Each structure stands twice: as structure tokens, then as C-alpha cells.
A and B are shown apart, each in its own frame.
Chain A
Amino acid sequence: MRRMKTIAASVLSVAVLGLAQTASAETLRLLTWGGYAPENVVEMFEKETGITVEVTKSNNEEMIAKLRATGGGGFDLIQPSQDRIAGPQLEFGIYKPIDLSKIDKSLFIPSMLEATMKNTTVDGQVYGVPHVWGTSGLVVNTKKAPMVKDYLDLCAPEVAGKVTYRLKRPTLIAFAFSMGMDPFAAYGDEAAYKDILSKVEAKLIECKPNVKTYWSGGDELLNLMRSGETVAAMAWDTGGWKLNAENPDITFVAPKSGALGWIDTFALPAKGQADDAAYKWINFVMQPKVAAMITEAAGNFTASKGADEYVSADLKARYQASFPPEAVDNIKWYPPVPAGLEALEGAVLDRVKAAQ
């Protein structure tokens, strides 16, 4: 019996040792979006600091789910959107506060830094600083669907069967704005928000026959638009600009009721083990020249002050064509999502998906 115990114990300990991650201080485990840590930038950083960077690509929901599963461990720096910090922090406690003295604030566009810090403050402590920003709006084939100017136009008979959007919360928000309501103002009022959601649900069900498929990945969307199987979509600005480079007919259009603006941030996971490396990375990639390299890779602009100068003229021209000054002012920036809102929205999305 004793022997059995010894054997069991040794087998177990070997298994545990094998599973345990060997994270040394000289490694930065970065959980981010595709394009935010391009290879050339990683190489420059590794050469300058000697810190190895391990990049994992993900999206908002997966980032939070991963951190929730480990209680905030497994990564040293993550990049969720600014509206996904305060809620999950209150609910799951997966982040740790940022030591602002270790960040070179002069590298950031002041208004954006200010806004992000305000939105990510919990109990007087700041949990996020801005990195990359962009919008979602409409990607339109302007030759085949010139009439699509706002989200609701996706439900028009002219584009029946040739439309695609995601079945996710941005779509709910966008349709609400397009129907003349302000969902962000109702964030704090559950009854009012439910009311908005039920109107949007009816609209989305009515609109369903128009939809070819609900896209779920960026590549899927690009393929649908590229092949002409769909002529109008709700999608990110970068998708539209990427397609524009291949086919000048297709481009990103800022909708009449306003594009939805998001800011992806830098945040520290609660059990991160390389905070110093994380701060070094933040200060490194926010340098204008490096930030411009990230813009080239990701397609989106950054919160780095003065980086625009180094961005290629092509990208700048596309940005200016999609965003005349009044459209920039009309961008609706996501406020922090209150905890528990997703359950309401989830039920609506499930019902839309099930509707015949």
C-alpha cells in the first residue's frame, strides 16, 4: 500500500511538473489581436531589450474567458477593448492596476489616454491605457449597392440575400442607433435597455431573410465581399480598406447614424509575472515610428502621438475618404459595458438566430 502511494505520488508530481509553465522574467507572454504585434516589431524589441515575446492571438471574449479560467494567470500583458475592463474586473477580478508612473504618458494622444483611463477606472485605480483604435460601420460594394448608407439599409429589398453581418453585440448597438435610439444612454437603466433590445430584436428578425449568412471571422467576411456573394456588410473599417486595395469599388462607409468606435487597450492580468517587461513593451510600441509599423500591419491607427506622419499615404487616403471630419465627430465610442448586460443581449441574439 505504501509503495502504491509513493508511485502514485511520483507519477502525479511528474505530470504536474510537466504541465507547469516555466515562465522566466525574461519572457513577455502577450495576449493580443492579430496584427498588433507584427514580427518586425517583436524582433526589434527582442534585440533592444533581450526579452523574448510570446504572442498569442485572440479576441475580446476569448481573452476574458481565458483569464477567467486561470484567475488572471498565463499571460503578462493583454489587450482587451476599453469597454471590457471595468465590468469583468468587478465581476471576476482578472486584472491588476497599472502603475502610471512607469508609462511614458507623453507618447499618447492626450484626449484618448484621458478617455480610456476614465473608462477603465475601478475603485479609483486605472486598469487600462489605449493602444489601437478603430471603428465598425459598413463595408459596401459602392457599384452594386450604392444605396447603402446606414445600418438599416442592409434590410432594404435592393440588397436582399446579399448582406452579411455578425450576430454579436455591436450589431444590436448599431441597429439601435440606426433606429433612432441611444443604447449607450440606457446602459444604466435595465428596463429602458430591455425595451430597446426588444425593438432591435423585432427588426433583426424581420431583416433575417435579407442576410446571406452571419459572418464570424474576418477572413470569412473578406471572402464573401471579395467574391461578390455579398455586396454590403457591417464590419470593421480595416476590412473595408483591405478590400479597397484589391477592388476600388468596395470600401468602408461611415454610416449616417455614426460609426461605432472602439479602443483596444493594454491591461495587466492579475497574475502576470513580468510587469516590467510589459511596461517596457508598452513604452516601446507607443514610439511614433514603431506605432506606424503596427498601423501598417493591423490597418488601424494607434493612440501614439505623431505616428500618423510615418503611416503610408495609401492608408491615410483611404481613412480620409471614409471619414470626412463630420463623420469623425459622429463616431459613437463604446462606454464600459455594465456587468450582466451580456446575458440580456445573449438571449436576444439566441432568439434572432433561432427565428425562422
Chain B
Amino acid sequence: MREGTRLGFILLLTPLLLWLSLLILIPHVDMFLVSIRERVGVGKYDISLANYRTFWGEPLYLWTFARTAVMSILATIITFLIAFPVSYYIAKIARGRLQSALFLACLIPFWVSELVRTFGWMILLRETGVFSGLLQWLGLAEGPVEMLYNDAAIMVGLVYTSMLFMVVPLVTTLESLDDAVIEAGYDLGGNGWSVLREIVLPHAKPGIVSGSIVVFMLSLGNYLTPTMLGGKDSLWFTELIYSQFIVRFNWELGAAFGFMLLLLSSLIVWGMLRLTGETLEETMG
């Protein structure tokens, strides 16, 4: 009997262990080894921290990372501001079939691939695109308006891509909030704002934090949206990594960049958790 349960335990654990070691651990170790190599001649390499020095020494790379991080945080905030009312409506106000229909509506954009969604935005925003044409037809604009290829376009793309990842955790936590608690808040003389601040937001905090972490990491690691919508000034950190690996054949620097991204983004998430007083266990559990 005992032997049987242990076998079952091992069998259940195997996929997880395989996944962790084959797809996460081993590639990262390999990446790290690549990142501490320095090319000293044709086909010759030395162990050194030169690539990390390049990252810290060249203001361009630090600046790009800072820009990417700030834009991602901004995208997270905007996503939250849009997703919160939506989730509140779905969780607390909508009932029955409407509730599931609305929830489904949030899911629908994810039935097509990210590439197609991004192309959709390009068709809408470009100079000869839908919005530009509409504005001219309404007489609001004289000539064609270019809305693509700027930071606002990147932001629109990022927020749109990450909506769902904010809505789902928010809906789950808000649904667990007893309506009676909200009523009690009003009975005790609270108004809409104070009820939101004192009751709803504190209860939803784990959902907010976990949603924010996911959205932040997704935005930070997004490659497609910034490159396609951003135009000549886009400059996204993942783009730098891609070009080091593929265009420049400089795997060493690319790997160092990858590690810095992992490290710095973990640091930012840790900082955010400290700031909100949440722990990772509470948020994810």
C-alpha cells in the first residue's frame, strides 16, 4: 500500500520535475555560462564579466531598461484602472447569463493570436487607417492623422493584450466578497467612495497584486507589440536581446541582457510587494 502511494506521488511529480529541470533550470544554467564568456578572438573565449560591465557601462542599455520598466509599470496601472470597474461590474452587478456572457466577451480577443491582434491595431491606427479616415469624414481633421509609431500606440497595444490577466484575478477575489459586508458599510454611514476604499479595495488586494505582477511581467517581456506599434523610437529591452542574439551574433551579450532582465524585474516585483505589504504566498495562494 505504502509502496503504491509513493509510486503515485513520484509519477505525479515527474512531469513537474521534468518541466522545471528541462525547460527552466538547464537552459538558465546554460544561458548563465554563455553570459560570462568573452570573445577574445576568432572562435576563442575567456571567462569574464565583460558583458555585465557593458550593460552597466553603456548608458543606452540602462536607459532602455529603465524606459521599458517605467512603460510597463504605467501599462499595469492603466490596465488596472480600466479592468477594475469592468471586473466589479461582472462580479457584483451583473447576474446569471449576463455575467458569463460578459466574462466570455473579455476572453474573445484571446481566441486570435497576438500577431493578428497587433495587426488589427495597425490597421486601425495607421495614417491611411480606419480612425484617421473616420476623423476626416467627420470633419474633425483636415488631413490624414498618424496615430501609429509612438509610445501611446505601444501603450494601447500593451493594455489591450494584458486586460484579461487583470480581469480574471480581480473577478475571482471580488466574487468572494460578501455583498452583506458592502451593505453593512453603507448602513454604518459610508458613502460610495469610503466603502470602496475601506472595504472593496482591501479585500481585492491579493487579486490586484497578483494581476499586477502578471501584467507587469507580460508587458516587460513583450516583444511583438512594442516593435510593431512603436516605430522608429520604440526601443524595448526584449528587442535589444533579440537583436544581440539574432542580428549581431553576440550571444554572450544577449545572454547577459537576459539575466539582467530576470534579475531587475524580480527586484521590481519584490519592491512592489514590499510597498503593498503583500507576500508572494498570500497573493498566489
- On whether A346 and B127 interact (CB within 8 A), knowing A11-B14, A68-B249, A213-B232, the answer reads no
Question: Is B60 in contact with chain A by the CB < 8 A criterion?
Answer: yes
Between-chain CB contacts (< 8 Å), 5 pairs: A8-B14, A229-B146, A340-B39, A353-B233, A354-B64
Number of interface residues of A (CB under 8 A): 39
Question: Is A101 in contact with chain B by the CB < 8 A criterion?
Answer: no
Question: Is B235 in contact with chain A by the CB < 8 A criterion?
Answer: yes
Asked whether, in the complex, the Cβ of B60 is within 8 Å of the Cβ of A354, the reply is yes
Question: Is A184 in contact with chain B by the CB < 8 A criterion?
Answer: no
Nearest Cβ distance between residue A156 and chain B, in whole angstroms? 18
Asked whether, in the complex, the Cβ of A15 is within 8 Å of the Cβ of B243, the reply is no
Asked whether, in the complex, the Cβ of A91 is within 8 Å of the Cβ of B11, the reply is no
Asked whether, in the complex, the Cβ of B240 is within 8 Å of the Cβ of A350, the reply is yes
A65 CA / B232 CA spacing, docked (Å): 25
Residue ranges of A at the interface with B (Cβ–Cβ < 8 Å): 3-4, 7-8, 11-12, 15, 61-62, 64-65, 68, 88, 90-93, 167-168, 208, 211-214, 216, 227-229, 339-340, 342-343, 346, 349-351, 353-354, 356
Asked whether, in the complex, the Cβ of A64 is within 8 Å of the Cβ of B249, the reply is yes
Question: Is B201 in contact with chain A by the CB < 8 A criterion?
Answer: no
A216 CA / B246 CA spacing, docked (Å): 14
- On whether A65 and B240 interact (CB within 8 A), knowing A7-B14, A208-B232, A350-B60, the answer reads no
Number of interface residues of B (CB under 8 A): 33
Interfacial chain A residues near B233, Cβ < 8 Å: 353, 356
Question: Is B42 in contact with chain A by the CB < 8 A criterion?
Answer: yes
Nearest Cβ distance between residue B17 and chain A, in whole angstroms? 9
A5 CA / B177 CA spacing, docked (Å): 48
Nearest Cβ distance between residue A92 and chain B, in whole angstroms? 7
A8 CA / B17 CA spacing, docked (Å): 10
- On whether A342 and B18 interact (CB within 8 A), knowing A91-B43, A350-B60, the answer reads no
Asked whether, in the complex, the Cβ of B149 is within 8 Å of the Cβ of A213, the reply is yes
**Chain B residue nearest to A212 in the complex (CB):** B149
Contact of B128 among A62, A208, A228, A356 (CB under 8 A): A228
Interfacial chain A residues near B14, Cβ < 8 Å: 7-8, 11
**Chain B residue nearest to A227 in the complex (CB):** B128
Interfacial chain B residues near A90, Cβ < 8 Å: 42-43
User: Count of A-B contacts with CB under 8 A?
Assistant: 79
- On whether A342 and B249 interact (CB within 8 A), knowing A7-B10, A11-B14, A213-B149, the answer reads yes
Interfacial chain B residues near A93, Cβ < 8 Å: 43
Question: Is B227 in contact with chain A by the CB < 8 A criterion?
Answer: yes
- On whether A88 and B249 interact (CB within 8 A), knowing A7-B11, A339-B42, the answer reads yes
Asked whether, in the complex, the Cβ of B60 is within 8 Å of the Cβ of A351, the reply is yes
Q: Which of A12, A88, A91, A208: most chain B CB closer than 10 A?
A: A91
Asked whether, in the complex, the Cβ of A214 is within 8 Å of the Cβ of B231, the reply is yes
A168 CA / B148 CA spacing, docked (Å): 22
What 10 additional pairs, Cβ within 8 angstroms, besides A61-B249, A65-B246, A354-B235?
A: A7-B11, A15-B18, A64-B249, A91-B249, A213-B148, A213-B231, A214-B232, A342-B248, A346-B243, A350-B240
A12 CA / B249 CA spacing, docked (Å): 32
Interfacial chain B residues near A68, Cβ < 8 Å: 249, 251
Asked whether, in the complex, the Cβ of A211 is within 8 Å of the Cβ of B232, the reply is yes
A91 CA / B10 CA spacing, docked (Å): 45
Asked whether, in the complex, the Cβ of B235 is within 8 Å of the Cβ of A353, the reply is yes
A354 CA / B64 CA spacing, docked (Å): 8
Q: Scan B211-252; emit 1 where CB is below 8 A from any A CB, else 0.
A: 000000000000000010001110100001001111111110
Q: Scan B54-86; emit 1 where CB is below 8 A from any A CB, else 0.
A: 000000100110000000000000000000000
